[in-house]
């Protein structure tokens, strides 16, 4: 499931980098919260402007204690220092 969410997050950030009205409306198809879309278009688009892709990373965690299911965490890649 983390791999599936990763693709959606990458797509929304790429739309945020485009920054036009059509891209914003396309992002609202995936993310229903206008506050989240505003943050992606304002903050994350500037943060990853020079990066061509690969904005997220999947970190595997240990098994969940209750049922032993494999757990993973999706995190944003830190911006590179120039």
Closest CA to 12 of 39, 30, 33: 30
- Structural domains in the chain (count): 1
pLDDT digit string, tens, across residues 17-56: 999 999 999 999 999 999 999 999 999 999 999 999 999 9
Residue 81 is assigned to a structural domain of this protein: no
- Asked if 15 contacts 38 with a C-beta cutoff of 8 angstroms, the reply is no
Domain with 63 in it: what CATH number?
Answer: 3.90.1030.10
Whether residue 82 lies inside any domain: the answer is no
Residue 82 has pLDDT above 80, yes or no: no
pLDDT attached to residue 81: 52
């Amino acid at each position: 499931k983390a791999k599936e969410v990763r693709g959606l997050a990458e797509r929304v950030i790429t739309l945020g980098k485009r920054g036009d009205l059509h891209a914003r409306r396309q992002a609202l198809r995936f993310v229903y919260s206008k506050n989240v879309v505003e943050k992606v278009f304002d903050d994350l688009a500037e943060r990853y402007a020079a990066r061509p892709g690969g904005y997220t990373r999947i970190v595997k965690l240990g098994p969940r204690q209750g049922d032993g299911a494999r757990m993973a965490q999706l995190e944003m890649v830190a911006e590179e220092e120039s």
